[in-house]
Structure 1
């Protein structure tokens, strides 16, 4: 292989996928429609949240892959993980279907994509921890970028933290609040030290080999187990209280979020 061939291959591995551009276009178009009042607000919010969630999923997994590349796993490019294409992830059901179902039935933002990294190529426990931490950091940044404009009043809505009604909340502010809330949810859940989640990936390199081998069989079921616990147990209210508290720290009243969820369920409106 010549030098030109190598450079061409690297450019191809880093070229942004048309699928990601379509997701971005859907996000931008639906956001404009909700902001301008074009079409049905509920369906616009639905498209905005779903496409925005998929964009964040792509960026979440890209962060894992890019950090792994700099950590020593030079195979991520050939696998298509640097193209921001969700179709390159390990499982289409986990990447597309389940996350949307989780949002619809539980209002919980769980990460769905997965990239298979060759971690044996990465040397050093700190690098392994940083690779796992990169994804949740993206969700946190996404949450701040969405919630700060709502809390600052840049998208409209009344000032202050008194009692509010849904009629006072602009649909575009509700859409931003809901998507930002889901990003907070994903970040908090993903940082739990549960096998299969990034939080466990952060601490795993620092555990003994015996402990890692004991916990390894539970990794495929960690995400679903967390969802079931949050959905069916008394911990659910405490979990959502924490998320609403975090959102309020950014100035976002819970009515913005709940109105977003109401609009998101366009089939009920």
Structure 2
């Protein structure tokens, strides 16, 4: 695959390498996202996450591999939206405070942001072929998008989990009722409302540039990752 990433992004072999690397990297980032939730929960008082194997970074240990990995990959390929799925079951009653509960929810998206920054710095300071630059850049962009998307205050997303411990009981109950379908409603808006997706990604490219990323490199990688859209 590294040989495939050594050429121009316009070469079919390079596009295939970018596609494989980006998907594999996204799968790894999903694992890091869930690990982020688990390690903060463990430090916050929920020692059950260790017994469940969530601290091993082993994909097989997560509660629902389909919901946490397969579904997010399908959503990514169909709509281009990097939305991690929940798989780590946290014992909220074991957490010591509302701040700990909030921190557990924030930790998953934070892992995506840290990975995105690390990849952006790597691309910026390490000389590498154009195709590898494009592949790592689009992977970094996906991390930034995942960070922002997950922190939206929508029930079922981590952003809601950050706020929920501080909300009144009535708001928590409403959130619990709409939690199963609210994220899919958000996806429907971004995918099917004309202009919503393009506007969202335009903003994300601006955010990506603010952390030092090159939007053009990320766009080249995005085109290679979703090569069928230009067929």
Structure 1 length-normalised TM:
0.77
**What is aligned with 1:71?**
44
CA spacing shift, 1:118–1:172, aligned 2, 3 Å: same
Equivalent pair of 2:65/2:87 in contact (CA under 8 Å): no
Structure with higher RCO (Cα < 8 A, 6+ apart): 2
Tell me whether 1:121 sits opposite 2:94 in the alignment. yes
Q: In structure 1, how many angstroms separate the alpha carbons of the residues matched to 2:56 and 2:206?
A: 35
Match among 56, 74, 94 for residue 101 of structure 1:
74
1:222 shift after superposition = 2.9
Structure 2 length-normalised TM:
0.88
**What is aligned with 1:87?**
60
CA offsets 1:41-99 (integer angstroms, 9 cap, x no match)? 12211221111111111111111111111111111111111111223323232222222
**What is aligned with 2:33?**
60
Match among 23, 42, 46 for residue 15 of structure 2:
42
CA spacing shift, 1:226–1:87, aligned 2, 3 Å: farther
Structure with larger Rg: 1
Equivalent pair of 2:141/2:218 in contact (CA under 8 Å): yes
Match among 248, 253, 257 for residue 209 of structure 2:
248
**What is aligned with 1:10?**
none
Moved more, 92-101 or 109-118: 92-101
Equivalent pair of 2:14/2:131 in contact (CA under 8 Å): yes
Q: In structure 1, how many angstroms separate the alpha carbons of the residues matched to 2:111 and 2:4?
A: 25
CA spacing shift, 1:102–1:155, aligned 2, 3 Å: farther
Match among 150, 157, 176 for residue 197 of structure 1:
157
Q: In structure 2, how many angstroms separate the alpha carbons of the residues matched to 1:142 and 1:206?
A: 28
1:190 shift after superposition = 0.6
- Structure 2 portions without partners, runs of 5+: none
- Structure 1 portions without partners, runs of 5+: 1-29, 158-169
Tell me whether 1:215 sits opposite 2:185 in the alignment. no
Paired positions, count? 225
